[in-house]
Amino acid sequence: MRTSVWLVRHGQTRFNLEQRYQGLGDSPLTGYGRLQVEALAARLRPVPFGVALVSPTERTRLAAEAILAGRAGVEARLDAQWAEAHQGRWEGLTYREVLARFPDEARARWADGLDGRPQGGESLAEVHARVSAAWRRLLEEHRGGRVLVVTHATPIQLVLCACFGLSPAAHWHWRIDLGSITAIDVYASGPIVRMVNEVPRIARGS
C-alpha cells in the first residue's frame, strides 16, 4: 500500500514578482501567475485525488479551486499547518527594505539559524514543527490515498528534508519554483520521490 502525495506551490503573485517577503499575507496573482495556475490544473487533471489540503491564503485557494474544478466528491480542507512561514513585520518588504529598517534584527535572524525570526513572525524551527505534525497527520489519516496539498515553498522543502533525514536547516538546497509540482509515494518501507519541482509548460497562445 502506498500513499501518493502531490505537493503544489501556488502561482506567481505581485509580491513574488517584486521579491517581497510573503508569508501569511497575500497579494494578487499576476497575469503570469494565473497562467501558471491554468497549467497546473491541466497537468493534474488526470490525477484522481481523494482529498485536498490547502493552505488558507488566497493564492493557494485559487490554485486549489482551479485544480479541483469539475471534480465530484473531492473534499478540500483549509489547513493552517501548511501555511508559509509567518514573516511578522517583514511582510510585504523587500530584503533591502528590511536591512534599511531593521538591520540589527536582520543580522540576528540569520545568525540564530533555526531559531532566528523577524519580530512577530516564526522561526524555521517553529515552521518545521508544524509542517512535520501536518505531514504525520496526513500519512495517518489518508493512508493508501492520493492527496493533493496546495501550499508554499518552505513546507515542501521541509517535507523533502524529512523524507531523507536531513536537517531543516538544509531546506534551501531544494529548489521549489512557483507553479511547481513535487510528488512523493510513501510506502511502509519509506518514501519514493516521483518528481521534484516539475513546472508544467504554459500552453502556447495562453
- The three-class DSSP label of residue 65 is helix
Going by C-alpha positions, the residue among 3, 46, 2, 5 that lies closest to residue 149 is 5
pLDDT average, residue stretch 161-176: 96
The DSSP letter of residue 171 is: G
pLDDT average, residue stretch 172-199: 97
Q: What are the counts of helices (DSSP H) followed by strands (DSSP E) for the chain?
A: 7, 6
Q: Output the nine-digit C-alpha cell for 177.
A: 519554483
Kindly report the number of other CB atoms within 10 A of residue 66's CB atom: 19
- Say what the pLDDT of residue 206 is: 59
The contacts of residue 38 (CB under 8 Å, 6+ apart) are 66, 202, 203, 206
- The three-class DSSP label of residue 49 is coil
Is residue 173 part of the annotated active site? The answer reads no
Q: Which of 10, 86, 152, 171 is catalytic?
A: 10
135 close to 127: Cβ distance less than 8 angstroms:
no
Give the model confidence (pLDDT) of 32-51 as tens digits. Answer: 999 999 999 999 999 999 99
Going by C-alpha positions, the residue among 24, 199, 25 that lies closest to residue 126 is 24
Distance CA 20, CA 145 (A): 36
- The three-class DSSP label of residue 54 is strand
Is residue 86 part of the annotated active site? The answer reads no
Q: Which of 84, 86, 91, 171 is catalytic?
A: 84
pLDDT average, residue stretch 53-70: 97
Give the model confidence (pLDDT) of 85-131 as tens digits. Answer: 999 999 999 999 999 999 999 999 999 989 999 999 999 999 999 99
CA 19-133-168 angle, 5° bins: 50
The contacts of residue 112 (CB under 8 Å, 6+ apart) are 123
